[in-house]
Every structure is written in C-alpha cells, then in structure tokens.
C-alpha cells in the first residue's frame, strides 16, 4: 500500500520543461529592477516586416548603425525609460489607455563563474512576453500574472549583455482572461526581474507540506536539476528536531515522507519554521508553515477544527497610488487593512497576485483564496485556451504550493453554464488535484431564483468542488438593499459555501439617505441587510465581500463618481474608510 501511495506521488514531480524555479528569495540573485529603455510599438514594426511576417532583424537585435549610411530606425539608448517592476499605464499619461506592444531593454555585465548556472527570472509580465538575450530568442510566456524563467548559462557574456523583452497586452478572444474584464489591463513588466545563480546541479523545486487531513505526516518531494541527479537529500527542520534523508532517483526526484511533532500554522498563531533542503551540491532554506485544511460536510476544518473564513476580496491595485501592485509594502498595506477589518481570509481576485502577497499572508496569518483568470466568457472549446489556463494554474501552484496561507485554489469566476464550460473546468480541477492533493478546490459560481424569495446554488460544477463559491449582488444589481431580508438560500450540495462576492458602489465622502445610489449610506445599508441575510444561511462557512479597496476599471466611466474606478471598495483609492467598512468590521469582531 505504502509503495502504491509513493508511486502515485512520483507522478507529481513536474517534468523539466523550462523548470520554474521556486523560492527565488532563498537563492543567490542579482536584481535587474530599475529603469529600462522602452520603445512603444503599436504596429509591432519591431517584430513584423511590412508583409506582416516576423522579421529576423527586429528590435531584439538592438542594432546600431555601423556607419553613416546604414539605416536603423530605432535606438533603445536614446529612448524613454520605464520603471520595472511597474505597469506602463500609470507611468505616462500617453500610455494610460494603451493596449499594444512595448519593447523593453536592459543592459548588464555578469562575471561568469565555473560550475555555476544562470537563469533570468520574471515575476510576471502582462500579457504576452517574447524574451531575447544578446539578439537571440530565449523563449516566450503567455499570461500576465505568473512567473517564468529561462536558463542563460551558455548565452551570457561577461560584459554588455542586452536583455530585450517584447511585452504585448492586447486582449484576445482566445486568451485567459478573454476580451472583457472589470479590471484595468495594466501592461508591462509588472513584477520583479532577477538573475538567479545556482550550482551546476541544484535543488530546482520541492514540496514539503502536511498530508491532507494529517496533523503530523509531512509528505512531498524534492527535484534536482543538473547532471549529478542521484544524490542524498536531507530535509531539516532544526527547531522541530527533524532531519530526514532520502535518495533521489535517476531523474533527480525523491519522495519525502516523515512524521514530526510540529506547531501548526493558523491565523491566530501563524507559525513558520526554517526548513532546509540539503543536497550534496546545493542547499535551499525556506520559511514554511504546516497546517491541514479539509472539509467535512458543510464544515471547513483548519487543523481538524471548524473555521469560518472572515474575508474580503482584493484586487492587485497598488494602495494609495493606483496601478498594478507589486511590492512587499503594497502587500503589507493591503493585508493590514484586511486585518483591521477583522479578516482571517482574503480572496485574491481574479488572478495570481505577486508572491509578496502570499508570503506576507503566511507571516500575518491570513488564509488565501488563489484564483486564475478564467473569468466570464472564456473560449471553452479552444484547446489552446485550455492549455493556457492549465499552464497558469500549474505556474501558480508551483510558485505557492509551500505557502500555508494558501488554502483554496479557484479555477473560475462567474462563468456561464454549458457542457463545454463544465468539461473545461473539470479538466482544470483534476489538474490542480494532481499537482497539489493537499488543498481545497473552489470557483465563484452564480445562483438563480427558484421563486421570488429563494436563491438556489445548483451549478453542475459544484459537484466537483470542495467549497462552493457564489457571487451575488442583492441590493446593487438585484433590487434594493432590503430585498436581502426576505431571501432564503438553498444548495443542491452538502458542501460549505463561501459567499465570494457581494456589495455595492459608494464614492467616499458622498452622503445622502440610504436609498441614494453611490452614497456611503446606500453601501452601508447593503452591508447591514446582507449580514442579516448571511447569518441565516445554514451552510455558510465564509464571506469575501467585493471589495477591500476601490480599483480601476475601463467599464466604469461615470463622471464625478466612478471616473474609471469601480467604487465597491470599503476603502477609497486614497485609503479612506467608508461607513460600510465599520459595519463589516463589527460583524467580524462579533464572530471572533
């Protein structure tokens, strides 16, 4: 039996396609953040020739005229610069609404070392990135919210390297997300860029977590990359007196399986341990928390005990300054506001947020719902769209699988019912379970009326989820706030429900009676009526109202009120708390 379990886990070790390096914080890195030269190229003339065929002589060559007669029609070094990390939309008024291609260039020197490999790592670039080094293509990446890296060991020079990235954030029907979203399509190299140095054979990836439902059995795996793949690996947790040795097989993989007496991570006590992965040729250290998360009937159990997820949704809008958030400070500000609300849980909508967000959630004791942007009307029948969604799921799970804070993977938001959609999402669910058997699966579904006062959750997708997510806007898109009072909720499933969205818009400082739209009083009234409705739902085990702060959206032009901001935040874009903030805070305090 034990051999069978171990054999089934072996398939979990990811194959080495462009192996995504994890825990970059725990490795030797050189930052490439800062000002990068940038060329705005709306017609992609740096990529295509006038026949719209890819040119061999594009901007990635960083060509310079060799003599006075040579014709070169671009020059990075005389071009404007853009800050990396950062979206381009909030760095220049010209680019505020810009959707298209921008070329980025960064020059750097690097002293090569024997027995050392080198990778270039991107935390994220929205949406499609073509990456070149010294005029040669390294590769490409699709998806604006997950990391990627390329090995450059045999391509880097000691001096005058030029790294060029073509970033295109044009929306496409077959993409993930697709054409229509309710958030700003911030483009650019939106997250950190760094060089990662490793030994010739290094610990490229590992998973060390409690087995589902257990409070003392640690299972997982370690993966080596390089030529010395058959090694002894020791997993050490000095503070817990753990030192366990395993042997990698010919592919450099070793299964990890041991029991240990560990203090469990929880919001009240977010215990993190220093965990060391010692190989003969490399060592990696990481702070990891150990907790179990599971469901039993309509309950969600953290470390075996029922828990209510007191949450709020968050978009990755940089607090106070706007634009795509990317820093540890941004994460701490947003999560501290959530803590102030009394939250022990956040839904990071609708795409993987930067890694600082989940690492700070680990440290601050906030459970996380992590989502990929399978949002609204995705092209369900398109196999490339599915492949893309699977890849984004794999990349976020690879990056965050050792974060105790992450308890739920969500595969979709408000997607219309159809057989093709169900097939698509079932595929993603089984892919996630294959990659990570320790966490819960969910999705933000919709509900319907079975009669004027009964809401029913019976989306066929619910059968394949552990936790039901449901978005409802009673009092905003659906009637007036008091409509919630008479509503009853029913579910086809004996499963826990997280009300993953509810709320309404209010402009901070805009006051009136509780029936006047856009006022703080109207929003306050929505929350008051929502809370009394939610309290009556017997299978409700969590809430994440929409949303912690106002965020930019191209779908919200109402002058003087929205001005391209979705105003459903409990906190304004300037950090001001609206009346509804205190209504929710009161309920969450009541529940503690």
**Smallest separation (angstroms) from ligand GCU to the CB of 476:** 8
**What strand order describes the sheet that includes 299-302?**
293-296, 299-302, 305-306
Q: Which of 516, 388, 370, 492 is nearest to 443 (CA)?
A: 370
Nearest residue (CB) to ligand GCU, 91 versus 377: 377
Q: What is the DSSP letter of 461?
A: G
Closer of 270 and 325 to ligand GCU (Cβ): 325
Q: Which is nearer to ligand GCU, 434 or 555 (CB)?
A: 555
Separation of alpha carbons 254 and 220, rounded Å: 9
CB of 503 to ligand GCU, least distance (A): 8
* Those residues with Cβ within 8 angstroms of residue 559's Cβ, 6 or more apart along the chain or in another chain: none
Closer to ligand GCU by Cβ: residue 255 or 412: 412
3-class DSSP assignment, residue 481? helix
Least distance (Å) from ligand GCU to the CB of residue 345? 17
- Kindly state the smallest distance separating residue 552's Cβ from ligand GCU, in Å: 11
- Least gap, CB of 528 to ligand GCU (angstroms): 19
| Minimal distance, residue 359 CB to ligand GCU, in Å | 25
- Rounded least distance, CB 505 to ligand GCU, Å: 7
Which single residue is written with the structure tokens 């979203």? 181
CB of 473 to ligand GCU, least distance (A): 7
Q: How far is the CB of 173 from ligand GCU (least distance, A)?
A: 19
Judged by beta carbon, residue 120 or residue 411, the one nearer ligand GCU is 411
Tokens standing for residue 63 = 């060509």
Query: 334, exposed or middle or buried, with CB in 10 Å at 0-12, 13-18, 19+?
Result: buried
Smallest separation (angstroms) from ligand GCU to the CB of 568:
5
Residue 390 or 567: which CB sits closer to ligand GCU?
A: 567
Chain CA centroid to CA 140, Å: 19
Closer of 122 and 375 to ligand GCU (Cβ): 375
> Binding residues for ligand GCU, per CB under 6 A?
182, 350, 413-414, 471, 501, 546, 566, 568
- For residue 419, give both structure tokens: 């057989």
Residue 448: CB atoms within 10 A of its CB come to: 11
CA atoms within 13 A on the CB side of 125: 25
Omega prior to 85 cis, within 30 of 0: yes
Closer to ligand GCU at the Cβ: 37 or 442? 442
CA separation (Å) from 128 to 175, 411, 545?
10, 21, 31
Q: Is 495 left (phi over 0), alpha (psi -120 to 50) or beta?
A: beta
CB of 181 to ligand GCU, least distance (A): 7
CB 361 within 8 A of CB 405: yes
Among 570, 573, 575, residue whose Cα is nearest residue 562:
573
Identify which of residues 236 and 568 has a Cβ nearer to ligand GCU in the complex. 568
**Residue 279 φ/ψ, nearest 5 degrees:** -110, 170
Q: Is 397 helix (H, G, I), strand (E, B) or coil?
A: helix
The dihedral built from the CA positions of residue 446, 449, 450 and 455, taken in this order, carries a sign that is positive
Q: Closest CB to ligand GCU among 209 and 471?
A: 471
Q: How far apart are CA 493 and CA 452, in angstroms?
A: 21
Q: How far is the CB of 327 from ligand GCU (least distance, A)?
A: 23
Nearer to ligand GCU, 185 or 413 (CB): 413
- Nearest residue (CB) to ligand GCU, 330 versus 414: 414
Question: ∠ at Cα 331 (328, 336), nearest 5°?
Answer: 125
For the CB of residue 413, give the shortest distance to ligand GCU in the complex, in Å: 5
DSSP string computed for 57-102: TSGGG----SSTT------GGGS-EEEESS-STTT-GGGTT--SEE
DSSP designation for 549:
B
CB of 415 to ligand GCU, least distance (A): 10
Name which of 221 and 489 has its Cβ closer to ligand GCU: 489
Closest residue to ligand GCU in the complex (CB): 182
Closest CA to 25 of 286, 275, 236: 286
In the numeric block, which tokens belong to residue 184?
């700003």
SS3 536: coil
Cβ distance to ligand GCU smaller for residue 414 or 436: 414
Sequence length of the chain is: 592
Distances in Å between the Cα of 346 and the Cα atoms of 47, 74, 314, 530 are 41, 45, 7, 19
Reduced to 3 states, what is the DSSP secondary structure of residue 346?
strand
Q: How far is the CB of 533 from ligand GCU (least distance, A)?
A: 17
Whose tokens are 């057989």? That residue is: 419
Nearer Cβ to ligand GCU (522/546): 546
């Amino acid at each position: 039996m034990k051999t069978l379990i171990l054999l089934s886990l072996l398939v979990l070790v990811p194959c080495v396609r462009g192996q995504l390096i994890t825990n970059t914080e725990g490795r030797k890195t050189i930052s490439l953040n800062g000002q990068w030269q940038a060329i705005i190229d709306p017609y992609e003339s740096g990529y295509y020739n006038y026949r719209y065929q890819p040119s061999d002589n594009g901007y990635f060559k960083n060509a310079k005229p060799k003599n006075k007669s040579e014709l070169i029609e671009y020059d990075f070094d005389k071009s404007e610069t853009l800050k990396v990390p950062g979206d381009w939309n909030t760095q220049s008024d010209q680019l505020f609404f810009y959707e298209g291609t921008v070329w980025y260039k960064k020059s750097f020197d690097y002293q090569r070392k024997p027995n050392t490999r080198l990778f270039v790592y991107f935390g994220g670039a929205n949406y499609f990135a073509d990456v070149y080094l010294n005029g040669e293509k390294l590769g490409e990446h699709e998806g604006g919210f997950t990391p990627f890296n390329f090995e450059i060991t045999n391509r880097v020079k000691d001096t005058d390297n030029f790294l060029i990235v073509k970033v295109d954030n044009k929306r496409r029907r077959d993409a993930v997300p697709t054409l229509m979203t309710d958030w700003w399509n911030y483009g650019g190299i939106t997250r950190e860029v760094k060089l990662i140095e490793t030994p010739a054979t290094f610990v490229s990836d590992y998973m060390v977590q409690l087995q589902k439902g257990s409070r003392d059995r640690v299972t997982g795996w370690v993966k080596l990359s390089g030529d010395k793949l058959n090694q002894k690996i020791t997993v050490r947790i000095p503070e817990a007196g753990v030192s366990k040795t395993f042997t990698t097989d010919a592919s450099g993989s070793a299964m990890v399986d041991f029991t240990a007496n560990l203090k469990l991570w929880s919001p009240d006590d977010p215990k993190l341990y220093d965990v060391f992965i010692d190989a003969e040729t490399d060592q990696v250290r990481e702070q990891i928390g150990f907790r179990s998360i599971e469901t039993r009937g309509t309950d969600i159990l953290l470390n075996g005990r029922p828990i209510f997820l007191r949450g709020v949704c968050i978009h990755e809008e940089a607090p106070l300054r706007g634009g795509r958030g990317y820093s540890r400070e941004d994460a701490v500000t947003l999560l501290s506001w959530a803590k102030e609300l009394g939250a022990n849980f956040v839904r990071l909508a609708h795409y993987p947020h930067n890694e600082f967000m989940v690492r700070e959630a680990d440290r601050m004791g906030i459970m996380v719902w992590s989502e990929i942007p399978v949002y609204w009307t995705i092209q369900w029948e398109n196999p490339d769209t599915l492949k893309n969604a699977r890849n984004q799921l794999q990349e976020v799970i690879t990056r965050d699988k050792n974060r105790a804070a992450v308890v739920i993977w969500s595969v979709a938001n408000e997607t219309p019912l159809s057989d093709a959609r169900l097939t698509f999402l079932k595929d993603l669910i089984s892919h996630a379970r294959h990659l990570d058997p320790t966490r819960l699966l969910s999705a933000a579904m919709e509900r319907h009326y079975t009669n004027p006062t009964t809401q029913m959750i019976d989306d066929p997708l619910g059968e394949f989820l552990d936790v039901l997510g449901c978005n409802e806007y009673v009092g905003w898109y659906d009637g007036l706030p008091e409509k919630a009072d008479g509503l009853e909720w029913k579910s086809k499933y004996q499963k826990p429900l997280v009300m993953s969205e509810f709320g309404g818009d209010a402009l901070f400082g805009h006051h009136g009676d509780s029936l006047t739209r856009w006022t703080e009083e109207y929003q306050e009234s929505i929350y008051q009526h929502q809370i009394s409705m939610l309290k009556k739902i017997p299978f409700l085990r969590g809430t994440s109202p929409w949303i912690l702060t106002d965020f930019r959206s191209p779908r919200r032009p109402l002058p003087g009120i929205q001005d391209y901001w979705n105003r459903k935040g409990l906190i304004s874009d300037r950090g001001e708390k609206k009346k509804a903030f205190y209504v929710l805070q009161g309920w969450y305090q009541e529940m503690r």
